């Protein structure tokens, strides 16, 4: 009876394992932004002068093609500073002649840790596609199927294999280059600002350490660093917590003062950007990104 049970369980495990295997292979074969960016790093990192890191505000907001020099946008949605540092170090290894680092610090980013957020399923993208080895024993961070958010890649599977859609939303240089319709900024702004208004002291400490690490590395390599807070719409910034805004700005100012060749550009409340420049309350659309990127380029050109 025990042997029969073990046999049945083994058969069931084999069936399950086979299904998982095919799902895993099928999902890994779908092109995705992380794989595209890793391929760029692999082939072109050596030629890169300007590296952009950050979360979705940078991914949507800074167009490398509008910057003078060879720029690459290594930002991704919900990317926390830990992965910014990881990608910075990775690119730097291949491109010791990197000249500029554009480091995005936004209102929610210092209290954000990808591991603790609802989007922690993205961690497997760093492990699988960028070969991040920070979690060697966590199976869920090395598997498309076992990371607990299978509906995300499954919908990608349906989109890719059944509908034939191209899931890539990044240009060759890592910028989000798809036009999306604008959302209701007023509604979106208030909701998003509330969601972003969390102060997590522990996350803050850890993230500041990552920032400091990146600044120290940049200093060692004689790089110029632009700490940027990209533009946001009035509907968003009018609902931000003033104490948290001030705390972020004070930190960035003090970092810029403490490190040579480091500047802080705060464009969160910039009046040069109107509602037409945003696709949602805190993300620039392609037009707004072009405008912002050209502003950054002028700053960098004047800085030389």
Question: Exposed/middle/buried for 104, CB within 10 Å: 0-12, 13-18, 19+?
Answer: buried
> Around Cβ 158, how many Cβ atoms within 10 Å?
11
**Nearest approach, Cβ of 137 to another protein (angstroms)?**
7
Give the one residue of 149, 213, 270, 286 binding another protein; rule: CB under 8 A.
149
d(CA 176, CA 217): 27
* 303/301 Cα distance (integer angstroms): 5
- In the β-sheet with 262-266, what is the strand arrangement from edge to edge? 71-73, 50-53, 100-104, 224-229, 262-266
Pick from 118, 162, 201, 302 the residue near another protein by CB under 8 A: 118
Q: Of 137-145, 156-164, 215-223, 283-291, which part binds another protein (CB under 8 A)?
A: 137-145
Nearer to another protein, 50 or 145 (CB): 145
**Which of residues 135 and 259 has its CB atom nearest to another protein in the complex?**
135
Contacts of 83 (CB under 8 A, 6+ apart): 76, 114, 126, 132
Helices H / strands E in the chain, number of each: 11, 7
DSSP assignment of 233-245 equals: -HHHHTTS-HHHH
Closest to 102 measured CA to CA, from 127, 73, 70, 66: 73
Q: Give min distance, CB of 300 to another protein, in A.
A: 38
Grouping H, G, I as helix, E, B as strand and the rest as coil, residue 225 is: strand
Sort 240 into a burial class: Cβ within 10 Å, 0-12 / 13-18 / 19+. Answer: buried
Q: Among residues 7, 25, 39, 139, which is the contact residue for another protein, using CB under 8 A?
A: 139
Contacts (CB under 8 A) with another protein, residues 15-44: 15-16, 19
Among the listed residues 136, 151, 162, 166, the single contact to another protein using CB under 8 A = 151
Residue from 17, 31, 134, 148 binding another protein (CB under 8 A): 148
Choosing from 58, 128, 145, 296, the residue that interacts with another protein (CB under 8 A) is 145
Neighbours of 258 (CB within 10 A): 11
Question: Applying CB under 8 A, which of residues 47, 93, 116, 257 lies at the interface with another protein?
Answer: 116
State the nearest-atom distance from the C-beta of 128 to another protein, in Å: 16
The correct pick among 7, 9, 134, 298 for binding another protein (CB under 8 A) is 9
Decide if residue 14 touches another protein (CB under 8 A). no
Q: Which of 194, 202, 276, 299 binds another protein (CB under 8 A)?
A: 194
Q: Smallest distance from the beta carbon of 219 to another protein, in angstroms?
A: 36
The 3-state DSSP class for residue 296 equals helix
For residues 53 and 66, is the Cβ–Cβ distance under 8 A?
no
Report the residue number, 6 or 178, with the smaller CB distance to another protein.
6
Q: Judged by CB under 8 A, which of 182, 197, 213, 238 binds another protein? A: 197
Q: Which residues bind another protein (CB under 8 A)?
A: 1-2, 4-6, 9, 12, 15-16, 19, 116, 118, 120, 137, 139-140, 145-146, 148-151, 154, 191, 194, 197-198
């Amino acid at each position: 009876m025990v042997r029969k049970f073990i046999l049945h369980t083994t058969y069931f495990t084999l069936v399950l394992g086979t299904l998982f295997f095919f799902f895993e292979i099928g999902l890994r074969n779908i092109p995705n932004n992380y794989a595209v960016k890793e391929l760029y790093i692999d082939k072109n990192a050596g030629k890169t002068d300007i590296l952009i890191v950050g979360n979705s505000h940078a991914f949507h907001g800074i167009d490398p093609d509008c910057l003078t020099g060879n720029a690459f946008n290594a930002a991704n949605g919900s990317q926390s500073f830990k992965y910014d540092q990881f990608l910075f170090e990775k690119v730097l290894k291949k491109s010791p002649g990197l000249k500029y680092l554009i480091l995005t610090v936004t209102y929610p980013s210092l209290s954000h840790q990808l591991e603790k957020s609802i989007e922690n399923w993205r961690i497997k993208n760093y492990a699988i596609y960028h070969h991040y080895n920070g979690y060697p024993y966590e199976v869920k961070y090395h598997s498309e199927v076992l990371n607990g958010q299978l509906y995300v890649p499954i919908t990608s599977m349906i989109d890719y294999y059944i509908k034939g859609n191209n899931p890539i939303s990044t240009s060759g240089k890592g910028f989000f280059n798809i036009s999306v319709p604008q959302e209701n900024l007023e509604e979106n702004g208030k909701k998003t600002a509330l969601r972003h208004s969390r102060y997590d002291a522990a996350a803050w400490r850890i993230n500041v350490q990552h920032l400091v690490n990146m600044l120290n590395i940049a200093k060692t390599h004689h790089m110029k660093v632009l700490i940027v807070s990209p533009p946001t719409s009035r509907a968003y910034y009018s609902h931000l917590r003033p104490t948290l805004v001030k705390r972020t700005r004070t930190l960035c100012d003090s970092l810029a003062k403490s490190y040579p060749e480091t500047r802080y550009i705060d464009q969160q409340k910039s009046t040069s950007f109107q509602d037409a420049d945003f696709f949602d309350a805190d993300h620039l659309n392609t037009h707004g990104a072009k405008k912002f990127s050209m502003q950054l380029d002028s700053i960098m050109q004047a800085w030389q």
